Each structure stands twice: as structure tokens, then as C-alpha cells.
Chain A
Amino acid sequence: MIYNIPFFAVILLIAVGMYAVIFKRNLIKIAIGITIVESGVNLFLITLGYREGGVAPIYTNLPSGVILPGGMVLPIPQALTLTSIVIGVAILALMLSFIIRIYQYYGTLDSRKVRRLKE
């Protein structure tokens, strides 16, 4: 049971993030929501690769007494997470720069007022 706690955290993070994206009106909060969803997904990937008592998957720096390959945590989910974090930073930067421009143009961050396209 104790090892399932990270998965509950994953569900919680994704739910909170989705809530923010769908129901919040402030554009900054929408951006924050996406970041939270992303953290949830990253946590999910990391948890998948974790093994109880495992060491970092670096061959050259292996402590003595570790049985391979079971003694290491899985390296692939970590590589996936790293990639996903980098992509997330790019998306976040892009979204924030859009928000700056929207604020300059409309003078508000309320998504109900930023809707020139609908007319």
C-alpha cells in the first residue's frame, strides 16, 4: 500500500491541474495548471521506474554489493522524464510570453474578456 502513495499523488496532481485549466479564468492560472499536470505525469514516469532500495543507474560509480540489474532503478523512465521536463520548460516559456503579449494588447488576463475571435 505504501508504495502506491505516489500514484495517488499522480492522480491528485493531474486532477488539480485539469481543474485549473478548465475552470480558472486567469490565463496565468491556466499556465500553472498545465505545469501541475505535467508534474503529475513526470512523477508517474519516475515512480514507474523506481525499485525499492535501488541505486542510481550509473555503471562506473556502482557501490559494492549491488546485484545487477535488479539493484538499480530503471534508467529509461528517468531519461523520458528529463526530456519531458525540457519540453515543459519550452512550453511554459512560450505560454508566458503569449500571456505578456495578451496583457499588453487587451489590458486584462481574464479569459472571458480576451475573446476578440468570437465576434
Chain B
Amino acid sequence: MNIDWLLTHSPALLIAIPLLAAFLTPLIDRVSRRARDAFVIAVLIAAEIIMVILAWDVFTVGTHIYTMGASSTAATIPAHAAVPIRIVLEVDGMGAFMGLISATVSLAAGLYSLAFVKKETGQGRYYTLLLLMLVGMFGMEFTGDIFNMFVFLEVLSIASAALIAFRFYHGDAVEGAFKYCVISSLGALMVLFAIGLLYGQYNLLNIAALAGVMKYTTLDRIALVMLVAAFAMKCGAVPMHMWTPDSYTVAPAPITAMLVAASQASLYALFRICFSLYGLTLDVTTMGIIIISLGLLSMFVGVTMALPQKDIKRLMSYHAVSQTGYMLLGVGVGLYLLGKSDFDTYGMAAMEGGIFHIINHALYKGLLFLTAGAIFYKVKTRNLNEMGGLAHSMKYTTIFFMIGALAIAGIPPFNGFASKLLIYESAYHVSPILSIIAMLVSIITLASFVKVFHSAFMGPPMENTEAGEVPKSMIIGMAVLAAGIILFGLFPGWVVSNIVHPAAQALASQAGYIGAVTGGGV
């Protein structure tokens, strides 16, 4: 097994390894718990390593194509046909970028879970579902086939819904899970209907091939509305955000971190549909304005709803909604300017800002949810009024929380600052109002986290709680994400030019996406 073989097959391996491992986990669980823990972590580390190798190759060499079941992985179009028929995995810069996020967050969540769910029953199934979530995310991010995207979306939704209800002995956990399940299955059915509309017109399911023949008829517009609505709902944009706080709050903390990454996989699907499937055939000005307004609404409503919350995880969930707004704003500005002369000057910068914010958000929001979980682990409550003085006993958690809070508020030198600055600067050229709202939201975010910091960590030590720090595996899980935040914050220039720019370029260039599939025939 040499490196070339690994590289060629890595898109399929990344989906296959966690998928097989997921169903092996309950069997190994029967033998020994320690073996199962070691196995799950080994799989997550293997996925991360393969993902880094693949991403490095994609960023330096170019798009990876993998045709399932063909004689050669590059043979996207079979010899006797004119269009791609087999399922094609297409990993371009954006897909690889999202894959890196999913792999990293899953690794941190897996490490954190080792101690966090130690006292629960049904851990074998917990890890099975955790690995299935990773499969769903990878699948959505790598696939070049729109029906395949629907299937992985459902894999992701089912696994997430079951995991949200993991602590089913709390009634509210099941309530949140049911809400999530209804929303995501309705959304997925809308996606399927849209796929039917597209298939009925063009007899194609491959995204690149569809994009090549897209005529933007009335039916295409209906399909676009359904796809955008469904994926915006799944990524938690206001006005379809009501499920986000409910299900994020009740899920176990590592799963909440995974759910953030899962929402971003839906965000990726939204961008993929707008840029790669429709691209310049759609009315980019109108669509750009729609996405920008979704972003502004999410930012503002999210943060104002977060201010009065007393439940620490609910507060953070509303911040997740608000931060999603930044990504929509950045990429929306890019879409608004797509094909116009200003795109190269600041449209690209806006997209880079929005895309950079995706990875930053996954890191710091994941970290914040993990610290909230650590607090819950020790104090057994999520209510901010019932906690205080935790800095006395939990010094690592306090430091991690501060890193996360400063990063989300956009304070230099943490990573949130770098991406927000890119968004402020470029959105300003479209309309100064956009930047003003974005900055205002940032300030309110800081205010809200100062409140959390004060009421949870400051003050005299709490009485009648078990003192001390959380177990090591939880600290390691948080440290993985904190290290990412600090590295990205200290070297934003390197990250933007080597990781974010290729991703933005891949998203903006529809011709490149189509050419990679249709140009590589037998």
C-alpha cells in the first residue's frame, strides 16, 4: 500500500472506513470497552490523516475524481454512454476544505466523548452513530451526484437525530430530537422532490453534468427554491432556525460540536447548489441579495435572542445561528458579485472571509460547546444562575473558554478576527450598512460572552460540588480545537492563501467543476 494508491482511493476510503467501522463497533463493544474506545479513536485518527493527505494533494495539485465501480477511477463517462452514469465522487478545494473541518471536529468530539459518556449505557451504539455522522458529512462533501447527496443527507440526519436523543431519560432530549427529525426529514423530502424535477428535465443526476446543460427554466427555479429552502433550514438560518437551539441544547456536548459541523455540511450543500449547479445561469444579483439578507437576519436575530438566555448551551446555540449569518453574508456578497467586474477585487475577498469563517466557527464553537459540556459534567446544571466561581477549580476549562469566547467575538490574535475582518472590508464595498451590522453583532456577541464568563467562572467558589478538573480525555479533546484556533489566529495569511483561497476559487469556478467530470472521459 503506497502513497499513490492511498491518494487515488482516498475519497472512497474516507467514506468506507468509518462506515464499516461504525458497524464493527458494537461487535468490538461486546469483547471489551477499552478495545472499542481504542478502535474508534484509531478510526477517527486514520480518517483525519487520510483527509489531510487528500486535502494537501487537492490544494496543491487539483480536483480529485473517483468513479465508483468503473474500470479506472478517472473514467467518469462510460464507453457506451455520453453522460456520467456511475456515482462520481468529486473532491475539489471546497470539498476538501469541508472534509478537513468534519474530520477535525469528529476527532475532538470522539476524544472528548471517551470520558464524557463513560457513565452512560449504550456506548457501543453511541460510537456507531458518531461514526455514521462522520460518514454522512464526508459523503455530502465529496459526492458529485445529487441523489447521492440526498442519501448522505439522510444518513447524517438519522444519525444526528438518534444522538440528540441519546440521554433519552431526560424528556426534553427526545423532544429536541423529534423536532430535529421532523424538520430534517421534511427538508430532505423537498430536496428529493427538487432532484425529481431536475431529473425529469435533463435525465441526469451528476451535478457537473447537470450544470453543463442547465437552462434555468421555470421548473429549475422551483427546484432552486426547494433546494435553497431545505438546506438553509438545515444549516439553521433565520427564519428557519427554531430547531437549532432546541436540539443543540439537549444533545450531549460532543454531539453538539458534531452538529455544528453537520450544519456546515448543509451550508456547503447550499453553496454548492448556488455556485456549482446553477452558477451564472441564475440571477446572481437577486440570489445574492436573498442570501445576504438571510445572513443579516441570522446574525442579528441570533445574537439578540442569545442575550437574555439563562441556559449556557441555549445561549451558545443562538450564537451558532448568529455566526452562520457571517458565513452567509460573506459568501452571499461573493455570489452577488459573481460574474461582475468587481468580483476579482473584493468579491473573492468576501468569499474567502465567509469560507474562512466556516472553519473558524467549527473550531471555536465546537470548543465552546465542549467547555459547556465540561461545566455540565461537573456542576450538573446548564443554568447560568446556579453556577459560579468555576475558575477556582477548573483552570484548563477556564482558559479554553476564554480562547473560544475571544475568538467568537473577533478579538485579535484569535482566528475569528481574521475572517471577520475580511468580511467587514469586502462587504463594505457593497453597502456600508452590511459591515456596520456585522460589527454591531460582533460587539453584542462579546457582551454576551462576558456575561457568561462572569457568571460561570468568576466569583467565590461554589459550595457542595465536587471540585477539580474534568478528566484528561476531555481536556485533550478541547486542546485539539484550541490549538487549531491559536494556530489559525497566528498565521491567518498562510491559512488564507493555502487552504481558504483554493476553496473559494473552487467554489467560484463553475467551469472547473464541470470540466473535471466531463473532460475526464474514456
What residues of chain A have their CB less than 8 Å away from a CB belonging to chain B? 14, 21, 27, 30, 34, 37-38, 41, 44-45, 48, 76-77, 80, 83-84, 87, 90-91, 94-95, 98-99, 101-102, 105-106, 114-117
Contact = CB atoms under 8 A, between A and B. Distances in A.
A14 B194 CA distance: 13
Interface string B135-166: 00000000000010001001001100110010
B443 to A, nearest CB: 28
A98 B174 contact: yes
Interface of B: 147, 151, 154, 157-158, 161-162, 165, 168, 171-172, 174-178, 181-182, 185-186, 188-189, 192-193, 195-196, 199-200, 205, 246, 249-250
Contacts of A105: 171, 174
A91 B189 CA distance: 11
Given A76-B205, A102-B175, A114-B175, A95 B196 contact: no
A84 B190 CA distance: 12
B192 A41 contact: yes
A91 B175 contact: no
Given A48-B200, A90-B158, A117 B178 contact: no
A48 B181 contact: no
A98 B177 contact: yes
From DSSP, what is the main secondary structure of chain A's interface residues? Answer: helix
20 contacts: A41-B196, A45-B199, A48-B196, A80-B147, A80-B196, A83-B147, A83-B151, A87-B151, A87-B154, A91-B154, A91-B158, A94-B181, A95-B178, A95-B185, A98-B165, A98-B177, A102-B174, A117-B176, A117-B246, A117-B249
Given A27-B178, A91-B157, A91-B185, 12 more contacts: A21-B182, A30-B182, A37-B186, A76-B205, A80-B147, A83-B151, A94-B158, A94-B181, A101-B165, A102-B178, A105-B171, A117-B176
Those 4 A-B pairs whose CB atoms lie nearest each other, nearest first: A105-B171, A98-B178, A101-B174, A48-B200
A117 B192 contact: no
